[in-house]
Amino acid sequence: MNAHSSRQRAGDPQFSSYDVVVIGAGLAGLTAANILGRAGHRVLLLEQHDKLGGLATWFKRKGHIFDVSLHGFPVGMIKSCRRYWSPEIADAIVQLKRIHFDNPMFSLETTFDRRDFTRLLVERFGVAPPAVDAFFDAARQMNFFDDQSVTTADLFERYFPGREDVVRLLMEPITYANGSTLEDPALTYGIVFSNFMSKGVYTFEGGTDRLIGMMADELRRNGVDVCLRCNVDQVLCEGGRVRGVLVHGRPIAARAVVSNANLLGTIFDLVDARHWPADFLEQARQVRLNNSSTQVYFGIRAGDTIDEEQCGDLLFTSTAPRFCAQSLLSRDVTSRTFSFYYPRTRPGHNRCTIVASMNSQFADWADLPPEEYRRAKQALIDDTLQCLEKYVPDVRQRIDWMECGTPRTFARYTKHWQGASFGTKFEGLAVSRAMPNVIGGLYHAGSVGIIMSGWLGAVNYGVIVANEVDAFLLNNSSQSSFSEETALP
């Protein structure tokens, strides 16, 4: 463990030079910083917001604690957290066992794992068992090197031809979870879906605030310096390699820099264009951003409860006659995911909260004048409340706090381009991975390419990049750790 102590605070970094500077404290940045600190490197983690976590975050209102957005991830999160964080964090990950679907095609409950989905597809949807097994096997065997010309729509047509109801069951939750569509490469669906299908959907007991608090403690133990409200003005480069960062007008030297900022923001905002080759910039310009989100938050007054039997943990609800990824993005909302938080979700916190999540497009909200923006937010709250009343009777009389977040909210607090909830489309992964080959010592880890999206994807990408940075630092050990007096040229 490093001799220097970690401090989570606002203000200037403790030293003028580090082995590694990590820009952004989303789950990928946090994980990369933790691994590198544990490996003995001097690490500085800079976060422009006043709390850690990125989109894995929360806020407090009138005695309520609201987790932002839908937080569900595969069982692999347990292994990753145990290995790269701590046993205590891994042990707090629990399964969501009651997941409901309610739409014009079907209404059902599932544990969202292969065994139960097989039962439903055979008994409820009448699909032949060999077709079900073949589909699950094909999804599990997909990898990064598969043919990208095969779309998710092609995959479904191969195993469930003409079955829009089956497509809705298998596709709609993944679209909510990471923005994927039927037009995306099948491998982006298959890899994510098979991860969930292994053992279902999991969440963190105690809420996101407890998770991030435990991660902050682990960073402290591993000697990482953490600075909040520290916005990076620029990544400093010279001679084809990174030299450090400029933060609050102050240069901080670094042998390596890991950006957990939005991929396009990293390339076009943080690095001077003269440091990028023209062909790399052109490739980056072709990267499409993923969609953003809207959320509506409801706090149930103290002492009141929600019927778990009726609502479950997650409810995928829609009035749309058929599944359509584009309709999920419309401001004319027909589909919502409700996340229900009970006192057992946050032991010791005797409140129930409900978070409604809806995929959306930044352009639909970006340019609304103030009064129209306010009305649009209120309309979204009202419509969502009307939808919720079907599942929670008399909910209007039981709520003591309502609030709405939009793509503009996400853009404001995360600085993600267009408030992107899941980073970029699949082509962004190649650009992200190529970055250190273009500028030595500069790495990116974050939400890119759908596969590296969501909680588990972000954590695992942080792991991959941390290992690469560690190897880079060891291979360039002749440039030993900077002294505190090192100055940038």
Q: Calculate the CA 228 to chain-centre distance.
A: 20
Kindly give, in sequence order, each residue whose CB lies less than 8 Å from that of residue 52, ignoring residues fewer than 6 positions away. Answer: 8, 25, 30, 212, 215, 216, 226, 228
Separation CA 397–CA 416 (nearest Å): 36
Neighbour-count burial of 262, counting CB atoms closer than 10 A to its CB (0-12 exposed, 13-18 middle, 19+ buried) = buried
Task: Write down the pLDDT at residue 174.
Answer: 85
β partners of residue 235: 245
Q: Give the pLDDT score at 6.
A: 46
Return the beta strands (E) in 209-307 as ranges. Answer: 225-228, 232-238, 241-247, 250-259, 292-300
Helix (H, G, I), strand (E, B) or coil at 300: strand
Q: Are residues 286 and 427 in contact, defined by beta-carbon separation less than 8 angstroms?
A: yes
Cα three-residue angle 28-25-196, rounded to 5 degrees: 35
297: Cα within 13 Å, side-chain hemisphere = 18
pLDDT at 1 (0 to 100): 34
Query: 65 near 353, Cβ under 8 Å?
Result: yes
Tokens standing for residue 118: 């097989």
Distance CA 301, CA 63 (A): 9
What are the tens digits of pLDDT across the range 72-91?
A: 889 999 999 999 999 999 99
Q: How many CA atoms does the CB half-sphere of 107 hold within 13 Å?
A: 9
Contact 89, 211 (CB under 8 A): yes
Q: Which residues of the chain have pLDDT under 70?
A: 1-11, 69-71, 144-146, 478-489
Full-prediction pTM beyond 0.75? yes
Q: What is the pLDDT of residue 324?
A: 83
pLDDT at residue 9 in the model: 57
- In CATH terms, the superfamily for domain 8-55+210-287+423-475 is FAD/NAD(P)-binding domain (3.50.50.60)
pLDDT at 481: 40
**Domain spans in the chain, listed from the N-terminal domain onward:** 8-55+210-287+423-475, 114-199
Distance CA(339)–CA(384), nearest Å, equals 13
